[in-house]
Structure 1
Amino acid sequence: MIKYFNRKSKKYEIEKVAGDTYLKWIYSSPLGMKFLEAIVKKKIFSKLYGLFCNTKYSKRKIHPFIKDFNISMDECAINYNDFKCFNDFFSRSLKQNARPFSMNKKILISPVDGRLSAYEHINLNKIIQIKGFTYSLSDLINNNKASEKFNNGTCLIFRLCPTDYHRFHFIDWGTCESCNKIKGYYYSVNPIALKNISNVFCKNKREWTIFHSNNFGDIFYIEIGATCVGSIIQTYCPGKNISKGDEKGYFKFGGSTVVLFFEENRAIIDKDILEQTKNGYETKVLMGEKIGIKCEN
């Protein structure tokens, strides 16, 4: 059972997990763990499923998925009947006004729809994955030098469920460097998996970029793949001027994670998010939602 905090209702809610029974078996039973290590975590498993989700035969999965998880299609840019395959639906675009956000330069917005955990004054060698498991930023990006400037800064972890809008965006104006790609496995990023596999983020396929933000300093953007994520697609143009809210890229099918690292004294995260993280709960946020403010030095 995964419980998260809903900021709007100020209540805790239970997450309906896609493939819940399968996940529990894979990550909690001896036989399931053997199957995980032998097949599920491998690239070929996710690649084959991703190829299926690109075919017209996968289209029949769309309507049951919408119904089972009560996904609102009113905000979608096109009718679900017009999707050619399941991946088209999964990486769907939204209507222009579906995710409003503040243009105030001091307001920090969420780059995605997801469940957020926030950590301040981070030790780069002991970043929390989940209670009992930590990892280092240098291991996450395979680069010691680039990680040094983020010591004692802020780390935001956004977990995207298969039911979420799966495009990720820029949180400020600025420019972004070219993407660095790191090969890896395809473990699930669901809390069920995080509790049983150490250093998942450092083991999975991932991509990272440095975003030179006008108002929040340099920011590490890290996208992490997961089981059945066929691809991480970057749609931005390196080196070109970026506006707040612009699309950076999207995930194809599967649960996924976006992690942001801020330098020290650049951002102040909203107290309710920090409090829920401290109590062991993720906070549900939408792309464009205010999650903090600029730190005035």
Structure 2
Amino acid sequence: MKRLSLVLLLFTFISCQKEAEPDNKMETIKYIERANGEVKTENVPSDGVLKWLYSSATGKAALHILFKRKIVSAVGGWYMDSKLSAKRVTDFVNEHHINLNECEFSDIQHYKTFNEFFYRKLKPGARPLEEGVVSPADGKILAFQSTKDIPSFFIKGSEFNLQTFLGDEGLANKYEAGAMAIIRLAPVDYHRYHFPAAGKASESVKIKGHYYSVSPLALRGSLKIFCENKREHCTLSTDEFGDILIVDVGATMVGSIIQTYESNSKVNKGDEKGYFAFGGSTLVLLFEKGKITFDTDLIENTKKGMETTVKVGEKIAAEAN
């Protein structure tokens, strides 16, 4: 049965590659480089495949029958954990201009599998900590001062429901109309994530789900994907910023969400919380109403419909006045 499923997976992938013609690509995704304010175009891996999956009738059928299922991520995870995948590291580094000098191990030969490189550690001091609430991950951020502002950004933002997303009515009420940040990690990003402030971290609560893509090309269709994907959440209780809810969202080809922190313990800002195995992933931060104020540039860029690049330790918000 497993062998049959694998054959079907490979056949479907090959078919979708053929259907995803180069002249039928999805819209380009613009983002803002925070350091200099420059507008750039994101290179989205497999954008033709994503268009086929999320825009065509045959693609949507394959998405619901096969691609959203655990077997796809399981097979992908098996390959990325195998020594066969190690040969991909060099090409990946060269293609995406990854800075090896900031890695704990800068020698590519140190990494025996692609996943070992994918969730690599950085050298101490590679991500300096700034004041206020800091970004928990390297990626691209959208910042909403109120969850009520979300429908204005996404095509089907009104489908996003906190209760469905969190699986807990009490938590949904607690963060109703509070601030929300979405930090999207692309496959090329550093994939360990950290605590955005100091406090006490609760245990991680798991919510079962599927494995839809969290690429911006998929999310533009509907933010409801966040309510359907596998995810985990943890409450970080802080003195300055109230209770921050940290939600780790898995996606297609993300075989594992690994928590490395100790539950119900005190943590420092910047301490490692966990990491994602191969794939694009997302972190969602929820803040109680009136506790924080996002940096102006992040709010303004979000209103323009564009994400902003951030790094671990970079300030994203301050305590509300």
Question: What is the SS of the residue equivalent to 1:196?
Answer: coil
Q: Which residue of structure 1 lines up, in the alignment, with residue 78 of structure 2?
A: 51
Question: What is the SS of the residue equivalent to 1:199?
Answer: helix
The 5 Å alignment of 1:186-201 reads 186-197=211-222, 199-201=224-226
Q: Contact conserved, 2:154 with 2:222, CA < 8 A, in 1? A: no
| Counterpart pick for 1:149 among 174, 178, 182 | 174
Question: What is the SS of the residue equivalent to 2:267?
Answer: coil
Question: What is the SS of the residue equivalent to 1:220?
Answer: strand
Distance 1:217 1:128, change over 3 A: farther
Q: Shift in Å at residue 22 of structure 1?
A: 2.0
1:19 aligns with 2:29: no
Q: Contact conserved, 2:199 with 2:239, CA < 8 A, in 1? A: yes
Write the distance in 2 (CA, Å) between the matches of 1:179 and 1:129: 29
Q: Which residue of structure 1 lines up, in the alignment, with residue 155 of structure 2?
A: 131
1:36 aligns with 2:60: no
Q: Which residue of structure 2 lines up, in the alignment, with residue 207 of structure 1?
A: 232
| Counterpart pick for 1:6 among 33, 42, 48 | 33
Q: Which residue of structure 2 lines up, in the alignment, with residue 240 of structure 1?
A: 265
Report the AA paired with residue 92 of structure 2: F
Q: Percent identical across equivalent pairs?
A: 40
Question: What is the SS of the residue equivalent to 2:44?
Answer: coil
Stretch moving more, 32-41 or 157-166 = 32-41
Report the AA paired with residue 110 of structure 2: D
Kindly indicate which of the two structures has a greater share of residues assigned to helix.
Answer: 2
Q: Which residue of structure 2 lines up, in the alignment, with residue 158 of structure 1?
A: 183
Q: Contact conserved, 2:213 with 2:252, CA < 8 A, in 1? A: yes
Q: Contact conserved, 2:211 with 2:252, CA < 8 A, in 1? A: yes
Count of residues in Structure 1 that have an aligned counterpart in Structure 2: 292
TM-score normalised by length of structure 1: 0.94
Q: Which residue of structure 2 lines up, in the alignment, with residue 218 of structure 1?
A: 243
Write the distance in 1 (CA, Å) between the matches of 2:187 and 2:64: 22
Q: Shift in Å at residue 31 of structure 1?
A: 1.9
Output the aligned Cα RMSD: 1.6
Write the distance in 2 (CA, Å) between the matches of 1:86 and 1:160: 17
Report the AA paired with residue 130 of structure 1: F
Q: Contact conserved, 1:129 with 1:199, CA < 8 A, in 2? A: no
Q: Shift in Å at residue 128 of structure 1?
A: 6.9
Write the distance in 2 (CA, Å) between the matches of 1:150 and 1:15: 31
Q: Shift in Å at residue 183 of structure 1?
A: 1.0
Q: Which residue of structure 1 lines up, in the alignment, with residue 127 of structure 2?
A: 99
Q: Contact conserved, 2:136 with 2:313, CA < 8 A, in 1? A: yes
Write the distance in 2 (CA, Å) between the matches of 1:196 and 1:182: 23
Q: Shift in Å at residue 129 of structure 1?
A: 7.3
Q: Which residue of structure 2 lines up, in the alignment, with residue 113 of structure 1?
A: 138
TM-score normalised by length of structure 2: 0.87
Q: Shift in Å at residue 29 of structure 1?
A: 2.1
Distance 1:229 1:279, change over 3 A: same
Write the distance in 2 (CA, Å) between the matches of 1:167 and 1:70: 19
Distance 1:290 1:236, change over 3 A: same
| Counterpart pick for 2:94 among 67, 88, 94 | 67
Q: Shift in Å at residue 43 of structure 1?
A: 0.7
Q: Contact conserved, 1:189 with 1:255, CA < 8 A, in 2? A: yes
Q: Contact conserved, 1:172 with 1:214, CA < 8 A, in 2? A: no
Kindly indicate which of the two structures has a greater share of residues assigned to strand.
Answer: 1
Write the distance in 1 (CA, Å) between the matches of 2:152 and 2:117: 32
Stretch moving more, 160-169 or 25-34 = 25-34
Report the AA paired with residue 88 of structure 1: E
Stretch moving more, 253-262 or 66-75 = 66-75
Distance 1:198 1:149, change over 3 A: closer
Question: What is the SS of the residue equivalent to 1:283?
Answer: strand
Rg bigger for which structure? Answer: 2
Question: What is the SS of the residue equivalent to 2:265?
Answer: coil
